[in-house]
Homo-oligomer: A and B are copies of this chain.
């Protein structure tokens, strides 16, 4: 965020955090994904200061996660709608929500995902689209990709000796 050290970090997680690392951004995105689009609604639901909200909203538009759209000419009124990029962020929010429900909901979940066709609560599972197998730390491990630079490669070569390591 405030620091440029992250910018130089050749890691997709770090780069993502540049844009969504501030916690208000996540909460605003969550509201946007729930269909909220008006400045006032964001403010009332989140209890965020107007100045902060305006700043975060601008940052999210800048990052391409939200799009500003004028819905009224006079007086000019803007609303903020989710973009494709923002929509693609939903799985992150959902897995975070599930994690939060598991550890910080005092047993029962406060918010849950429901299958509107079966009316059943959704139990999220992360799988490999190719094999349909659930992601497992032992079987699915991180490795440098095609665009990896020497820095990343060195990292993994050095740590590849630790096959007995916990995971990933």
A interface with B by C-beta (< 8 Å): 1, 5-6, 9-18, 21-23, 26-27, 30, 33-36, 45, 47, 81-82, 85, 87-118, 120-133, 135, 137-149, 152, 155, 159, 162, 165-168
Contact = CB atoms under 8 A, between A and B. Distances in A.
A14 B27 contact: yes
Given A12-B105, A23-B6, A90-B168, A124 B120 contact: no
B85 A92 contact: no
A116 B133 CA distance: 12
Contacts of A106: 147
B10 A17 contact: no
B109 A146 contact: yes
Contact of A141 (B16, B113, B139): B113
B130 A120 contact: yes
A89 B94 contact: no
Candidate in A18, A82, A97, A145 with the most chain B CB atoms within 10 angstroms: A145
A33 B90 CA distance: 23
A88 B127 CA distance: 14
- Residue from A14, A16, A120, A148 having most chain B Cβ neighbours under 10 A: A16
A112 B145 contact: yes
